[in-house]
Every structure is written in structure tokens, then in C-alpha cells.
Amino acid sequence: MLVAAGCAQRPVVPAAGAVPEPGWGESRPQPRREQRRQLVAHAERMLGQPYRYGGESPQQGFDCSGLVYFSHRQLGIELPRTTRDQRRRSRAVPVQALQPGDLVFFDLSDTKTRHVGIYIGGGRFIHAPTSGKRVSVSSLDNPYWRRHLAGAGSFL
């Protein structure tokens, strides 16, 4: 059983001259093109890793949002852990303007976003598909993925 609990904290006031820590979707300064290249490279290194619901590391395996979470963390980018929250908090990107490193979201069973992958260019994306499968590359031209594509976003 998973129990989520919130905690109230007093606001932290940074010391004079302190550099604030990055927030959701923020990272240390780095050219965006290089960040996108590195994000795709991190995700590509996970190709072949097993799917595991709730997994977010090479040791555990990955579910779809765990792969996105892990790949961004390798660049120091903090983002939500779940597909739903990744979609809600990402900056919307028109599907026609996808760039490597953007996220592609899919509605699989109803109107809720249930799946996410990392766009790598050429109409392809890396994702952790489902139980019994491994992290792999799929095409947005595949009729199944094209039919379920719900939108795109980015934390870069």
C-alpha cells in the first residue's frame, strides 16, 4: 500500500548572495540543444532495460514515467514522477514542432494520460512500454501510437 502524506514547512529564506536551487523543470544553465542531446543519450543508454511498474532506475527497471524521471535527473532537472503530473507541469509543445528531448503523451484507455515517452527525432520516441517488455524505440507513425497521441510537452 502506498500512502502519500504532505507536510507543511515554513518558507526557507536563502542567505544573501545564495544561488537558488532549481525548481520543477529547471536545471543549471546549459545550452538547450546540448541538454536535449544529453537527455536523449541518457534515455538511449537505457534501451533494453526491463519494464517494472514503479521502477525509476537501471537497477529496478523502469515504467514509462520512471524512465522520463530518471533521464531528466541525470541532467539535474527535477520533475514530477507520474505521467499525469509530468504532463500537467510540462510546458506544452505543438506536436508539429517536436524536438529531441520533448515528451510525448498518450491517452491509452480513456481520457486520462496513461503513457509518456521521450521524443528522439525522426518521428521516433523511447519509452518503457508495458509489463513483459523492455525500454525500446517506437514510431509515432505506428497507427496505435498515432491514434493515442494526446499531446507533447517539455521541461527543457
Which entry of 7, 64, 72, 148 is annotated as an active-site residue? 64
Which entry of 7, 42, 72, 127 is annotated as an active-site residue? 127
72 is catalytic: no
What sign has the CA pseudo-torsion 143, 153, 81, 83?
Answer: negative
42 is catalytic: no
Whole-number Å distance between alpha carbons of 86 and 89 = 5
Whole-number Å distance between alpha carbons of 106 and 93 = 14
Any idea what DSSP says for residue 66?
A: H
Which entry of 7, 42, 72, 115 is annotated as an active-site residue? 115
148 is catalytic: no
Q: Give the DSSP letter string of 12-31.
A: PPPPTTPPPPP-TT--S---
Give the residue numbers marked as catalytic. Answer: 64, 115, 127
